[in-house]
Amino acid sequence: MSNTGASMTGIAFLILILAAVSGFVLNRRAAYAIRDRGQRLHSLGGFHGSYSLLLVLLPGFVFLILWLMLQGTVIDRMVMAGLPDGVLTDLGSGAMQLINAEIRSLANGQVFGTPEPWKIEAAERMVSLEARARWLMLAGLVLITLAGLIVARRSVAAEFRARQRVERIVLGLMIFCSLVAIVTTVGIVLSLVFESVRFFRMVPITEFLFGTNWEPQIPMRPDQVAGAGAFGWLPVILGTLVITAIAMLIATPIGLYSAIYLNEFASPRVRSVAKPVLELLSGIPTVVYGFFAVLAVAPALRNGAAEIGLSISPNTALAAGGVMAIMLIPFISSFTDDALSAVPRSLRDGSLALGATRSETMMKVLFPAAIPGIVGGILLAVSRAVGETMIVVMAAGIIARMTINPLNSVTTVTVQIVTLLTGDTSFDNPKTLAAFALGLMLFIVTLCINILALRIVRKYREIYD
């Protein structure tokens, strides 16, 4: 049944696209026909076509998205409401969701054991309702697209201000997208704050901010020996800072020097090959970096330490930070290269004309002029390093230690968030809610870094305009 639903959804979107393109072609042709009869058009034919395309595409797309979002919920409620009397009596929300999931599995053809007859009937009713919903979706879409085509076609006239209408619609789309971004950000912040407040009602905020022990284990039953849990976040943030510092100490000089070489000293042929290869590193998934750290970097560090008589942990901050540095090198290099390329050509030519060498021009003229963009890129790279998860969880481990030794196993804020939210623990205990408190603190840290980057860029940008 799911394949049928997916095919119908694909047909619906195909109908929408074809109708929108047809409207564009028809309105554009109608506008040019008016022009060919000697009348002067207020707007070009392309704007008339674009008006028809938007008038068909936007309402149809919104209709399809809303239908697909609400269809499953409405059908589930209709099916659950039609169950025999007494079946759902005295059942909690979890049990009702389990019954609904079983009925949906039966509707999809997945039969486990011998289900009750009323469940089979409910599954058949769900299949019937889903089939009707798909045909109603297509019918509604056809009506909306036809209405849009008719309205757009009737609007074609010499005096019709199609360009203003199109610009108004596009402006509305941009405002809507901006509002979605703002509302999403506000929603994320509010959810973090709300859940963090619940956490701080169970755990004192002073213990969280200044505690030096992180062991978010709570007893599941009264006789279980698990302790009351320790929620001091200092070991977690310290591990984050250690790994970030290692990554930045390695990535910053390599990224800067590679950008300087490619921007000023490399030949066009070398640059055309080296720059794409360097930027290819930024497209590698982080889980691949994690595998590289576990399979190559960590064993190499252990073997090297054994050669000189040192004993290090299987998972180390040095391995995670070193591999993370490889990931950040193209990030820093790209920002630095863009900042150097944005320096006015007159500064470079003036320095060379006064007798300075290319290296002196780079270090005394171009690099200082590009400092705002370079520092901004480095701080944004720090934000990315702070938020990295996969490399750390695979290479550095999940144990929180109050240490700055790069040869020890440490953990980070993001790793602990993933660990706390993995499993079947409910959202009514401090172990799970601690993830939101960590998320809020991580949000504050990265926000401060981004604000610092923006302030640096804005402070020094006008000096070299």
For 192-201, what is each residue's pLDDT tens digit?
Answer: 899 889 888 8
Cα dist from 130 to 78, 102, 355, whole Å: 11, 16, 78
**DSSP secondary structure string for all residues of 104-142:** HHHHTT---S---HHHHHHHHHHHHHHHHHHHHHHHHHH
- In terms of DSSP H, where are the helices of 308-429? 317-341, 345-353, 358-361, 367-369, 371-386, 390-395, 413-420
The CA-based angle 17-22-23, given to 5 degrees, is 100
Name the more confident of 232 and 21.
21
What pLDDT does residue 63 have? 93
pLDDT of residue 7: 80
Give the C-alpha separation, 332 to 382, whole Å: 10
Determine the Cα–Cα distance for residues 465 and 453; give it in Å rounded to an integer. Answer: 19
Q: What is the mean pLDDT of the chain?
A: 83
Per-residue pLDDT at 225: 43
Q: Are 340 and 367 in contact (CB under 8 A)?
A: yes
CA distance 98 to 95: 5
CB-side neighbour CA atoms (13 Å) of 191: 10
Least confident of 47-51, 168-172, 277-281: 277-281
Res. 393 pLDDT band, cuts 50 70 90: confident
Name residue 102's amino acid. E
pLDDT at 172 over 50: yes
pLDDT of res. 224: 46
Rounded to an integer, the average pLDDT of 248-271 is 89
Which comes out higher in pLDDT, residue 394 or 167? 167
